[in-house]
């Protein structure tokens, strides 16, 4: 299952305040920072839920996360790009100026393996600009190296979607994991969660299908009509 940036945009609203324009500014902020990275000639990959949507269904996104291959000079240019973007969109990115501000993280690669994975980034038109989105394997490898709660949920969703080469991710984790193999454990847990969620979804689908095929089943609308008629007759 894959989605598009247009489906992300459809989710960018504040359910508690429909007049709040900040969530809907994420595409403009995305275009600004991606344009700066391309102009600077920096190798990068968009990660996080923005990239997850390339491989799975769209979810609400409140932060732009980017990994780049930065040397000393590249790090300074990247920091300046982030400062410039935050300055242009301060009304929507500064926590003291708005509620639920949009976040922007641009960091250097954590190791040689991550830098190599940038070459596998997938170029797609995203929010109306060509952008380099992380591969499914890159995303899962990253999330298995971090214990954040939302990473575990996103990893399970990615696995359930069937778009990731789990053997490749296992090899990457063996190359970069710590002695206690925490990444391998997180991968196993994510696989288990994905299996459980898939099994639950399939069971629910079959239950609904059996209910629809039941010859004695009475549609809800007919029950409601019968109740209303009975009430009128009293």
CA distance 218 to 83: 61
Number of domains in the chain: 2
Bridge partners (DSSP) listed for residue 20: none
Q: Is pLDDT above 90 for 148? A: no
Same domain for 212 and 96: no
What pLDDT does 125 receive? Answer: 96
CA distance 158 to 5: 17
Same domain for 222 and 197: yes
What pLDDT does 175 receive? Answer: 86
Same domain for 114 and 34: yes
Same domain for 8 and 41: yes
What is the pLDDT confidence band of residue 5, given thresholds at 50, 70 and 90? very high
Helix, strand or coil for residue 85? helix
Of the candidate ranges 38-47, 142-151, 223-232, the one whose mean pLDDT is the lowest: 223-232
Same domain for 70 and 177: no
pLDDT per residue as tens digits for the range 94-128? 999 998 899 999 999 988 999 999 999 999 999 99
Judge whether 139 lies within some domain: no
What pLDDT does 213 receive? Answer: 60
Where among 101, 134, 167 does a domain terminate? 134
Same domain for 43 and 97: yes
Same domain for 178 and 112: no
Q: Is pLDDT above 80 for 28? A: yes
Judge whether 20 lies within some domain: yes
What is the pLDDT confidence band of residue 88, given thresholds at 50, 70 and 90? very high
CA distance 99 to 125: 29
Judge whether 198 lies within some domain: yes
12 to 21, 83, 104, 204: CA distances (angstroms): 9, 23, 16, 29
Same domain for 161 and 45: no
- Owning domain of residue 154: 147-234
197 within 8 A of 160, measured Cβ to Cβ: yes
Same domain for 208 and 94: no
Find the Cα–Cα–Cα–Cα dihedral 146, 151, 152, 154, rounded to 10°.
Answer: -150
Where among 108, 134, 160 does a domain terminate? 134
Burial of 172-188, coded b for 16+ CB within 10 Å and e otherwise, reads: bbeebbeeeeebbebbe
pLDDT per residue as tens digits for the range 166-222? 999 999 998 887 656 888 888 888 888 887 776 655 455 455 555 656 666 666 556
Backbone φ, ψ for residue 56 (5° rounding): -145, -170
Judge whether 142 lies within some domain: no
């Amino acid at each position: 299952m894959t989605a598009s940036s247009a489906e992300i945009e459809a989710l960018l609203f504040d359910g508690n305040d429909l007049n709040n324009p900040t969530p809907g500014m994420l595409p403009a902020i995305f275009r600004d920072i991606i344009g700066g990275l391309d102009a600077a000639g920096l190798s990068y990959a968009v990660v996080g839920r923005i990239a997850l949507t390339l491989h799975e269904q769209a979810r609400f996104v409140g932060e732009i996360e980017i990994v780049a291959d930065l040397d000393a000079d590249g790090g300074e240019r990247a920091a300046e790009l982030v400062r410039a973007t935050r300055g242009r969109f301060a009304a929507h990115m500064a926590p003291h100026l708005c509620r639920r501000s949009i976040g922007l993280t641009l960091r250097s690669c954590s190791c040689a393996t991550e830098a190599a994975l940038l070459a596998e980034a997938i170029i797609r038109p995203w929010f109306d600009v060509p952008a380099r989105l992380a591969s499914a394997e890159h995303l899962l490898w990253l999330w298995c190296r971090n214990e954040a709660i939302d990473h575990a949920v996103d990893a399970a969703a990615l696995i359930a979607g069937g778009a990731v080469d789990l053997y490749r991710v296992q090899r990457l984790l063996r190359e970069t994991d710590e002695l206690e193999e925490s990444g391998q454990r997180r991968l196993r847990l994510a696989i288990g969660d994905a299996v459980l969620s898939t099994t639950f979804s399939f069971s629910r689908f079959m239950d609904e299908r059996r209910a629809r095929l039941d010859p004695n089943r009475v549609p809800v609308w007919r029950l409601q009509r019968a109740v209303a008629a009975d009430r009128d007759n009293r």
